[in-house]
Structures are given as structure tokens and as C-alpha cells.
Amino acid sequence: MSVSTEQDQQIKSAHRRLWALGDYPAVAREVIAELGRATVAAAEIRQGERVIDIAAGSGNSAIPAAAAGGVVTATDLTPELFEVGRRDAQAAGVELSWEQADAERLPYADDSFDVALSSVGIMFAPFHERSAAELTRVVRPGGRIALTNWTPAGFIGRMFAVMKPYAPPPPPGASPGPLWGDPEHVAGLLGERVEGLSAEHRVLVVERFATALQFLDFFKSHYGPTIAVYTRISDDPTAVGDLDQALLDLAGEYFRPDDAAMEWEYLLTTATVR
């Protein structure tokens, strides 16, 4: 189902506001920093290659990509995240460009980049076919793609499923973000535009939280999608209590029995553009 230009602008404005909530840079730095490094390692960036990080957030892939020698353009729909990214890049001693851009309508010519990255970013653009087409369009033939995305069956995919009954309905025609963590879905999206497609399930070990309650408190104050859902139901104490318990129960399932660490599954996808 298609949407009008006005509807599309409203959707993008809502997404920008959502990801500006809380403190996503803290999530990227304290919880999922390893995903950025894994994405960059898989891309095998060479000195001087032109790199785009799509839905870069505060740069958890873009900054290590620049450190690896790439000439990096970090793009995101939510430029509010760039201020922290610029500080982190300066602290790391690297330079890169930060540009506001919609993953579904990238403002770059065909074949502009040698490498495209995204670390749990492109998956949240609602219309997957559009963002997949843009991802492959802006990378030159023979260029490389490296993506990390949460899986539907892993912790974050299940967290979004738990929150879904309390969240507003998605836009008409939108696809759930964790589908980018389904190898068959990604293969269908990229199709004949790529070759050498590889999809590897991996586990991120999260040591930031010692208990399920610590996880819940952190995500309720730092992670935009969680904040947005709780804001929507804030006038309904019963719903708040039910969602609290559901998320606590879910988080409890993912702590390893031998230590205070959680295991979150993600899919690492690499491919070469035809």
C-alpha cells in the first residue's frame, strides 16, 4: 500500500521525534558498541574508500569506519544525534561528514560509495523495499554492504513484539523492523541487485545490566521506542504495570545462568553489489 507525500512526511517527522527521545547515544555507547565494530570488521574497509553509514545514529559504525581509513558520510533522519557523534569522533581522532538523510530517499547519486554500512539502523525505516533499493543504488558495482540487524526471535525482536499491543498502529504498508534480521526477508529485499550474500546469526553479549529491572529502568529512560510506548499509555496504570511485568519477564529469560550478562541475537549480512 502506498502513502501520499503528506503522509510520508508525517511518518518521517514522527520517526525523527521518536529517535530524539531519551538518550540513544548512551544506548549505542554503553550497550551495543560492539555491533558497530562488528559491522565495520565485516565490511573490510580499505584506506580511502567512500563509506556511507545509513541510519548512523551517533556513529557507532561510522566512527570505527573512519578509524579504519574510510572517507565516511554518516547519515540519519534524526540530526539531534549528531552532536554526540561529533564529540565522540573528535575524541577518537577521526573526521567524517554528518548529514541528515532519509534511508528511503538518500540524496546521493548512483554509485557514490564503495561501502554501505548500517548497524541496527536501516531496519527501522518503515518501507523496507524503498530502503533496500536505496542501499544498493548508492553503492557502485563491486562495492560492499555490511549490515547488523536484530532478529525477530532474539531479545530485541521479542521486545518489540511485547510492546506492539501498547504502541500506535504502524503506517499502512510498513514492515516490522526485525524482519531485516530474517535471512529470507533480506535476500528477497536485495534480490538480484547483489551477489555473494552471506547472513550469519550472532549473539551480542550485553553486560550493562545486572538485573532485568536495571534493563527496564534504562530502556524506559534512554531508548526512544520504549519511551514513546510508555508515554502513550501513561494515563493507564494497569497497562503500564502489565507492560512492566511483560518486559521484566522477557528480560529475565535472556540472562545467562552463570553471570550477569544478557545475550541478544542479531543477523550480520554482507553482500557485493552487482
Give the tens place of pLDDT for each residue, 25-62. 999 999 999 999 999 999 999 999 999 999 999 999 99
Which pLDDT score is estimated for 4?
78
* Contact indicator for 3, 11 with CB cutoff of 8 Å: yes
Give the tens place of pLDDT for each residue, 76-131. 999 999 999 999 999 999 999 999 999 999 999 999 999 999 999 999 999 999 99
pLDDT over 80 at 3, yes or no: no
User: What does the buried/exposed string (b/e) look like for 24-57 if buried means 16 or more CB atoms within 10 Å of the residue's CB?
Assistant: bbbbbbebbbbbbbbbbebbebeeebbbbbbbbb
* Contact indicator for 93, 124 with CB cutoff of 8 Å: no
Give the tens place of pLDDT for each residue, 141-191. 999 999 999 999 999 999 999 999 999 999 999 999 999 999 999 999 999
For domain 5-205+262-273, is the CATH number 3.40.50.300? no
Q: How far is CA 213 from CA 238, 241, 251, in A?
A: 18, 13, 8
- Which pTM was predicted? 0.96
> Domain ranges in the chain?
5-205+262-273
pLDDT over 80 at 1, yes or no: no
Q: Please, how many CA atoms are within 13 Å of residue 5, restricted to the half-sphere of its CB?
A: 0
